[in-house]
Amino acid sequence: MSLAQITVQLYSLRDALEVDFEGTIRKLAAIGYPCVEPAGFHGCNPAEVAKLLADLNLTAPTAHCGLPLGDAKNEIIETALELGHRYLITGVPHGGQDDYTTTDQVKAIAEQYCIAADNVAPHGLQVGYHNHDWDLAEFEGQPAYHTFLSHTPESVLWEADLFWVARAGIDPAGFLQEIGPRGKVLHFKDGHITDRSIEIPFLPAGQGEVDLVAAAQAAKDAEYIAVELDAYDGDMLKAVEQSFLYLTENKIAGSKK
């Protein structure tokens, strides 16, 4: 089985990107990243971003963006095609946590993903859901994600964020086995799990309590494994580089362009 390719969720570097988008992307290329996962363009337009990535021999097969629905549908699809995205992931569902508090609400959200999946399928694209811990809660005795999975086709992906899975009290390796083929894109995020008093719990991959090695063995359908830190009490670029080295040196993800 070939290694999943390593990528980096650009939300991690949002502050640096806001100051110097091109310079920050160049630093990621210099580290050795073959891919990036955009989450907005910080004032650049898609054509500029596409050219920069091409110049640096980078790709962006995955992205965080809104669901391609309604008035936003065409622009989201056109941007995805221009940048070479294949998998369009939502950072949070529309309405966020406030609209995710009952089984019926989860079913309604799932229906939106079904519609979005139908909208992008003719273009060779797929949509997906990225979890936190709150969307792994139980409503009416049923895990909310079970409701979502049972009301969406397998073509709707689940970008498992392993830190949040572990923080929700779920074994990441078992979770990956459960979502199976939906786990084409994953966030191998690490950090402090047991001590919830730590204000910024996120750490470079391999330095926290998430068993990323065991998770990698269960990630049999992964095509892309992303580095992400929501925040970091230190130099974020260094954390992103340390994560790259840990994941590639331990053969959890590959960096070949």
Contact 205, 188 (CB under 8 A): yes
- pLDDT tens digits, one per residue of 154-182: 999 999 999 999 999 999 999 999 999 99
Q: What share of the chain is helix, strand, coil (3-state, %, to 5)?
A: 45, 15, 40
Choose among 46, 132, 138: nearest CA to 89: 132
Under 8 Å CB-to-CB from 106, ≥6 apart: which residues? 100, 139, 144, 147, 148, 151
Contact 22, 243 (CB under 8 A): no
Quick one: pLDDT at residue 1? Answer: 61
78 DSSP 8-state letter: H
Average pLDDT, the chain: 96
pLDDT exceeds 80 at position 257: no
Domains in the chain and their CATH numbers? 5-249 (3.20.20.150)
- pLDDT tens digits, one per residue of 117-156: 999 999 999 999 999 999 999 999 999 999 999 999 999 9
At 94, the pLDDT band (50, 70, 90 cuts) reads confident
Residue type, 193: I
Quick one: pLDDT at residue 95? Answer: 82
Strand 5-8 to 126-130 pairing: unpaired
Pairwise CA distance, residues 255 & 257, whole Å: 6
Beta bridge partners of 143: 138
In total, the chain counts a number of residues equal to 257
- pLDDT tens digits, one per residue of 27-65: 999 999 999 999 999 999 999 999 999 999 999 999 999
Quick one: pLDDT at residue 96? Answer: 85
Quick one: pLDDT at residue 2? Answer: 84
